[in-house]
Structure 1
Amino acid sequence: MRLALGFGSLVGLMLLTLSLVSWQLHHITDLTERFATQDMQRLLRVQVLALTTEGAGTALLRLMNAPRADRVPVYADVDERNRRIDGIVTSLQGLLGDAQQEQTLVQLEQARAVYHQAFLATVDQIEADDASAAMQAYTNQVQPALAHLLQLSNQLVNRERERMENQVASSHQRLLQITLWLALLSLLAVIMAAALAWRTTQSVVSPMRQLETTARRIAAGDYAAPLVTASIEEVDRVSQAMSSMTQAIAQREQEIERLAFRDPLTDLPNRTYLLKHCAQCQSTQAGNTLMLLDLARLKTVNETLGFAIGDSLIKTLAEQAAQVVKTAAPAASTLLAHLSGGLFAVVLRAETRDSVQALHQQLLHATAQPLPYQGHSVDLSLAFGVADSPLNAPLDVITLLRNAEVALNAAKQAAQTLVWYNPAQEAARLSHLGLLSDLRVAVSTSQLQMWLQPKFSLHTGQAVGAEALVRWQHPTRGFVSPAEFVPFAEQTGAITQVTDWMLSQAMHTLAAWQHQHPELSLSVNVSTRDLQDPTFCQRVLHLLQQHGIAPHHLRLEIVESGLMQDTHASIALLHRLRSLGVQLSIDDFGTGYSSLAYLQQLPVTELKIDRSFVTHIEDLPGTQRLVKTMIEMGHGMDLLVTAEGIETEAERAVLQRLGCDVMQGYLGSRPLHGVALQAWLDGLSTSAPAGPDAHAPQPT
């Protein structure tokens, strides 16, 4: 209210000042307009009256002295002057606006009448050519009347001038008064503005500055800032609103912090809190250990029983693990966090591994009993990976998490409950990370090699073909075993590039064999990913046509377990390949689980008995009966039966007796490449028997 009254008064003073200025300007404008349109015009007329009256006497003298013949224009001039005097006198009537001037004008009219009579008397004497009488009339009558008329005219002029001077002086005096009032009002407005500014500063600006300081403290996270009080109601309301806002922000920030650092399912600290907590504990006196524990069968539970059951398992594990950690280790030195899914982390300070092993056993014991859920009994199968840092070393939680993750994966792969991190595990993982890019380079730069292992007929002993085997000679790693990079290539999808390279190399080899060894076929292994690629059949056809190879010379070997990934798509692809004329083999037959049910649907031409059934078969009657059944089943379906891994004469003799068609193994020949392969091809004889040394030069 005080601010409103103060500003209202200040605005009123400003409006009053503007009104005075406006009124003064309007008054000056009126004076100027009246001076220009009335006073000046009236003064000019009075002055013209005086001049005209004086000129009339001069014109009468010219008339008296002019010859009769020249009197007409002089008469006209005299008459014009007299008419002008009469017109001016008439126009001044009612315009003088002053009683004294009006009286003088009446006297002027009377004097004009006397002058007119004297003028007529003089003119009569002039027309009578009596110059002396005319001069006497002019002297005695005209001059006195004209002098009186001039006196009255000058009196009018002087009076008008005096009136104008008085008006100008009065206007000037009024202007000075208005200027003084304006100065006083302006000074009063300045004083009021200064007082109002000072009062505003004391009652508004200072509290607002305190509110600003409080707001900055709130922005910095200090929610305990004191409440600002002021004598102004509005400032108090703002202060109260800021206090309410501070409490609301503090509550929301607590909730946000809870959501950011706590897992909503288990209410345990999450990964973000784990990283933050460990970052605040950079130096410790004891070694730091990080244990990861994972629900190994959570994915199966989610897929089988649903995510609700999986979440219940996670919550149960969280409760049991929290209870174990709380009782097994001091809370100040141990942190249990839920990272994701069924993965939990325990960060603890342990001077020996025995304490970690004890905690591990307690966790296993606490989760040993299966849990009933909706009629199902579900056990908490846990896997543990542990990584520790050296004594008195700073806690690098990122490194510990990575190392513990490596150890956890090793535990799952080895089907163990607990594995400690070993740098060798990391070296293997790093090696695998580089294999993918190296393998792509190997395909494009011919680092890969195609080795051939010959296959021989058990009936004739003649070579019937070979199996193409991929080998990798790395420029820095040296020889990389297929057992190392082929499974990795399967996982990453790079195996399709290897398959394409092997098919291309096989086509080149078959093209070279067309004239010298037309009886030989070449087998190439096909991966599970190739069976799932709908363009694979078209790629094989393109290579056959490009190199002009008869399709029956190419044999594609499919791993039995690979058919089970997508049975319908795989069978459809095999039928398309078989329609091209390509031979198809089932590799490692007998090691799968479900292929017998689909065997009659497969358009295969060969069964390859896995070497696990061949090794020491001469000493295993049961295995002989099983292999005989496989051979008879294959023959019953018009399939060629090949035995893999034959290394001794006894194994070959048993398989030959059981009716197997083709043998492959070290007894016939080791895999060959380069000079050794060419030597074998050069010495190949269709009539030579198959034996361990007949066609098998040992490569160095």
Structure 2
Amino acid sequence: MRVSRSLTIKQMAMVSAVTMLFVFIFCVILLFHSVQQNRYNTASQLESIARSVRGPLSAAILKGDIPQAETILQGIQPAGIVSRADVVLPNQFQALRMSFIPERPVPMMIMRLFELPVQISLPVYSLERPANPQPLAYLVLQADSYRMHKFVMSWISTLVTTYLLLTLMLTVALTWCINRLIVHPLRRIARELNDLSPQDQVGHQLPLPRLHHDDEIGMLVRSYNINQQRLLRQHDELNSHATRFPVSELPNKAFLMAMLEQAVERQQTTALMVVACETLQDTAGVLKESQREMLLLTLVEKIKSVLAPRMSLTQVSGYDFVILAHGVKEPWHAITLGQQVLTVINERLPIQGIQLRPSASIGIAMYYGDLTAEQLYRRAFSAAFSARRKGKNQIQFFEPEQMEKAQQRLTQESDILTALDNNHFAIWLQPQMSLLTGRVESAEALLRVQQPDGSWELPDGLIDDIESCGLMVTVGHWVLEESCRLLSAWQERGIALPLSVNLSALQLMHPTMVSEVLELINRYRIKPDTLILEITESRRIDDPNEAVAILKPLRNAGIRIALDDFGMGYAGLRQLQHMKTLPVDVLKIDKTFVDGLPEDSSLVQAIIQMARSLNLTIIAEGIETDTQRDWLAEAGVEIGQGFLFARAVPSDQFEQRYLTDARHHEKA
């Protein structure tokens, strides 16, 4: 391989030119700054010398004693910095001149460029100065310009040396970095392609250079590899025979290993899933080549349909596919994805008059930062072989304990969905009472689950389990719809009691949340202002600005917004700057703060004061004693909720206890 001119020489010339320009500008700025600082120091010294002789000089001038004045000026000479001293009368008449250092020539360009010579003028007054003194004369001191000239030349010689050294060092350093990052990888690629023998050119794959997985060089290598795969496919078609393996346009093993190396380098938690399709292998020599080709392409499209955008599908052999599932961090996520893949593969498939029901075995290996790319690849295939030995359409993890954890989580998910379908979930209501009148002002809908003994309660950790199983949006929508159905029934009877429903952060950030809530309002024909959505603040919302953008359309539709668990999450006391922008109507003081009343009341007082300044309705949660209720009422809190008033009860008991007189709750 020959080149007429090395890329290294070209880039070094360009780097040198740019470096010389910027270092030159830097040195010029530094030179002028240093000279200006020296001018200032020289002027300060001249002024100090002038002030030291101004007193005796003014006495000599007042007496008209010229010899005495000359003697005083001659005493300046030992300072060594002053080249000339003049005494000038107010009418610009030069009364006295003393020269200390012979004038030596200084280039005119230096004089003009750096504004030489440096001189100062100091007024000389009478010793007995009247109210508005007039100077007797002016003492003018001039610095030695040649001394400044030597300083400038010294600095210029130093900066020239520094300039050349910096230019050389930066040129070499930048050129070395560019060589390592760009020139060397390109040179290796060029040499490898140049050394290829003709028989190896078709289907040749370039290894992805280290540190270039996600830049333009990596894109170049991947594009080359994909084009080579297409060429290989065309070559195989020209030399096809009945038993050849079908090849898709998917990336091959070289691409997969490069992606695995990148994941390992970034220590990125992921799952590697091998899909071994027995049907492709069993039909070799049975189906026509066109039929097998159609089978392969159909299976590829089906598998792609269940993959997320961040996931990659590759084909490493005629029968085996590998899914690199970025974003899958838990075994149960991986097994859920595997079940989706098996579901679409097992669908009945007509192929040119033949009905097939494809089958596959799936092996999964999880990566948590403790394996090499090759080890992860081998583990996934080992798991696939284990799944194949158990029969068709099986899923197997390389590590049995991960399989057990995934199955437990899937069982948990199934139990939650079964309970939801069998009406084992219900909403109970807890009243929210006026602290002044004792009247029910609103209610809060709370989730309850029927237990094996027939009782209803909310088990500890159930909300976390629902969230971790990815069912928070599903369960939350059910609670919201049940609450709207209940409000609709009340309002048909003329009851306009507001109902609060908790909305988790996951629900709030769901892309269809706003449209679903508005659809429920219209479907059940309820008054929007009777529905209060409580944003559960203790579950952190990462972007308050995004939350504001979501809540505004709901509030504009008439729905009221409450901030629950105030002080415990994103809009708490640490981030009060967001409060003014939040479209909130109600603020609920968390039980944690109420428990400390009345002894520890500082935080509650601050919350109440802030809510008043924002014109928000205040609800205090977790009131359990009369002392707490009395303190909150006296502090101006309008509504309270807690065991002191009532516990949550089923909706029918709530209606019998509080809504017997429907007209009492009608809005004016």
TM-score, with length taken from structure 1: 0.37
Structure with the larger helix share: 1
